[in-house]
Amino acid sequence: DAKTTQPPSMDCAEGRAANLPCNHSTISGNEYVYWYRQIHSQGPQYIIHGLKNNETNEMASLIITEDRKSSTLILPHATLRDTAVYYCIVRLSPYSTGTASKLTFGTGTRLQVTL
């Protein structure tokens, strides 16, 4: 799995957009970008994933650069409940079997949302 690099921490004011960057310069053509978050004392929670097109769901948007070497997770209107550690993970297709399904976590970005 390709290695990812994320800033260790970020702050965001409540109600503003939180933009969390991730570098994955060694990503392969068949690898997806996944985002999970972990709220204190809970298990990680899936947020979104994408291959090369921008993706949006009810939780967030994922913007992947054209060369796929970096991406940004956007929380459009951050709330205090979005305070968590956010993990950017690169892995093979979600439709692969066996060894492709493990997740390799880094240390993530600790997002602090403040009033």
Partner 1 sequence: DAGVTQSPTHLIKTRGQQVTLRCSPKSGHDTVSWYQQALGQGPQFIFQYYEEEERQRGNFPDRFSGHQFPNYSSELNVNALLLGDSALYLCASSLEGRGNYEQYFGPGTRLTVT
**Binding mask of the shown chain, residues 20 to 59, with x at each position contacting partner 1 by CB under 8 A:** ---------------------xxxxxx-------------
Task: Please enumerate in sequence order all residues whose Cβ is within 8 A of that of 37, keeping only pairs 6 or more positions apart, or say none.
Answer: 44, 45, 47, 82, 84, 85, 86, 87
Smallest CA-to-CA distance from 105 within 35, 47, 32 is with: 35
Structure token digits, residue 82? 């979005």
Q: Smaller CB distance to partner 1: residue 14 or 38? A: 38
Nearer to partner 1, 29 or 95 (CB): 95
* Interface with partner 1, residue 108, by CB under 8 A: yes
| CB closer to partner 1, 5 vs 101 | 101
Helix (H, G, I), strand (E, B) or coil at 82: helix
Q: How far is the CB of 44 from partner 1 (least distance, A)?
A: 5
Cβ neighbours of residue 28 closer than 8 Å, sequence gap 6 or more: 2
Residues that bind partner 1 (CB under 8 A): 41-46, 85, 87, 94-108
